[in-house]
Amino acid sequence: MIAPVLVILLLLSGCGSIWAEARTIDALVQVETVGLDPEERGVALSISAASPETRETVSGGSIRLAMDAMQQQTGSAELFYAHAKFLLLGQGTDIPAALDFVARSSDMRLRTPVVLLKNASAAEAVQLGGEDADVTAMLQTLKADMDQHGSGHAFTCGEALRRLSESGCALLAAAELEYGALQEAGYGILRDGICVGWIAAEDAAAVNLLLSLNCRSDILLNDGVTVTIENSRCKYSDGAVELTLWAELSETDGGVDITEDAVRKRLEKALSDRVLEQIRRVLGQCRKLDADLFGMGDEDVTITVRSRITRSLDLVAPIDLTGVNQ
């Protein structure tokens, strides 16, 4: 009995299925970046694909109609959206409609990272770059930079949907066009699905600390000292935020001796003050926009930041370069 069952299963599944919709990979254009912009009568769809190189923008009454129009415009090769790496939203795009489309689509995935463009359109962005680096490569670099430097986080469509459905507010990574390339622009703040404001790139690290996302970031303190936050812990309870930072001394002007307790304590306080200032700016911005991004509600919160500088990389104490002690 098992053999006939397996034979019939072959009829149902795979490329030889009775529903055979099998397509050879050569006949497909793998769309890597999907861009959306608002239009007076619908939406502008932009795509970027590497092989064959495709950078196109078309308009349609809806995303689906624009996809159909795009298919007609690009000729015989079938556009394949199943492995899209980024969703790029131009300023003013109907974000709920875009997220609804991705959630409903059996092609696109909820794990696709979304990047919101500030003062720019996706149509402009997909035309960026030359033969070596297209918009997808730029977005990949941008995402890697954000992950490495804690200067943002590329939330996915699923994460955005989830946060919007739970609290009505969400964040999306923002980028802007500068000098012919995409630059980090912090975060776009969504409330009820609409982008109501922005968090500046220099404050994005504070958002990451509050959300316990990738926290590694370099901070320039006074006296030419740079510290790198290596780890953090954020606890929120009963109207109080307690943030603990673990950092390392990564650069000085050559004269800072971290082995001295007083020096270390001064630097730790400077770091705490700097981060506290950033957090206050972020929370103030959220309050102004009535966006409860961190689940703190309307109540006033007490913020405490504690920093510990735990090491100073390979150099324990400064080297005297004057030769006076010799």
Partner 1 sequence: MNSQRLTEKQFWALGGLAVLSPLLRLLPGRVCALSDNGAWLSCMLAFLPLAGFTLLLVPVRKRGPLGQQLSGHGTGRLLLALLTLWFWLYGGVLLRSGAARFLTAMNVFRGWLPYGLLLLLMAVPAALNGPKALFRAAEIFLPVLTAALGLCLIAAIGLMDWPSLKSIPKPGKLLHGAVPLWNLGCGMLFYSGFFQPEEPPKLRKNLKWLLRLCLTAAAICAAAAGMLGAEVTAKLSQPFFVMLRNLSLSDAFERFEALIVGMWVLPDFAMLAMLLLLSRETAGLAAKKPGRIYVLPGALIMLAAADVVGKTAFRLTLWSEQIVPIATLVLTISATLWLFFHPKR
What are the residues binding partner 1 (CB under 8 A)?
A: 1-2, 4-5, 8-9, 11-14, 17-19, 21, 82-83, 103, 106-107, 109-111, 158, 161-162, 165-166
Closest separation in Å from C-beta 150 to partner 1 = 19
Instruction: Give the Å distances, CA to CA, from 169 to 68, 176, 236, 289, 293.
Output: 32, 22, 18, 11, 6
- 24 versus 326: smaller Cβ distance to partner 1: 24
Our CB check for partner 1 shows the closer of 107 and 223 to be: 107
Return the number of the residue (114 or 201) whose C-beta is nearest partner 1.
114
Residue with tokens 């690290």: 205
Q: What distance in Å separates the CA atoms of residue 197 and residue 250, rounded to the nearest whole number?
A: 33
CA 189-191-196 angle, 5° bins = 55
For partner 1, which is the closer residue by CB, 33 or 156? Answer: 156
Helices (H), 156-293: 157-167, 204-210, 261-288
Give me the least distance between CB of 111 and partner 1, in Å please: 4
Least separation in angstroms between CB 264 and partner 1: 33
Output phi, psi for 157, to 5 deg: -60, -40
Rounded to a whole number of angstroms, the minimum distance from the CB of residue 54 to partner 1 is 21
User: Between residues 143 and 274, which has the closer beta carbon with respect to partner 1?
Assistant: 143
Pairing outcome for strands 54-60 and 78-80? unpaired
Cα–Cα distance, 125 to 249 (Å, whole number): 38
138 near 86, Cβ under 8 Å?
A: no
Radius of gyration of the chain from its Cα atoms, rounded to whole angstroms: 25
Residue ranges with strand state E in 192-274:
194-199, 217-220, 226-237, 240-251
Could you tell me which residues are beta bridge partners of residue 302?
240
CB of 21 to partner 1, least distance (A): 7
Nearer to partner 1, 212 or 310 (CB): 212
183: left (phi over 0), alpha (psi -120 to 50) or beta: beta
Kindly tell me which of 167 and 228 has the beta carbon lying closer to partner 1.
167
109 or 143, CB closer to partner 1?
Answer: 109
Minimum distance, C-beta of residue 141 to partner 1, in the bound complex (Å)? 17
CB of 279 to partner 1, least distance (A): 20
Beta carbon nearer to partner 1, 24 or 106? 106
Residue carrying the six token digits 């800072």: 256
- Contact between 110 and 158 under an 8 Å Cβ cutoff? The reply is yes
How many angstroms separate the CA atoms of 141 and 326, rounded?
A: 48
Judging by beta carbons within 10 Å of its beta carbon (0-12, 13-18, 19+), is residue 208 exposed, middle or buried?
A: buried
Distance CA 248, CA 246 (A): 7
For the bound state, the minimum distance from the C-beta of residue 185 to partner 1, rounded and expressed in Å, comes to 26
Shortest distance in whole angstroms from residue 249 CB to partner 1: 32
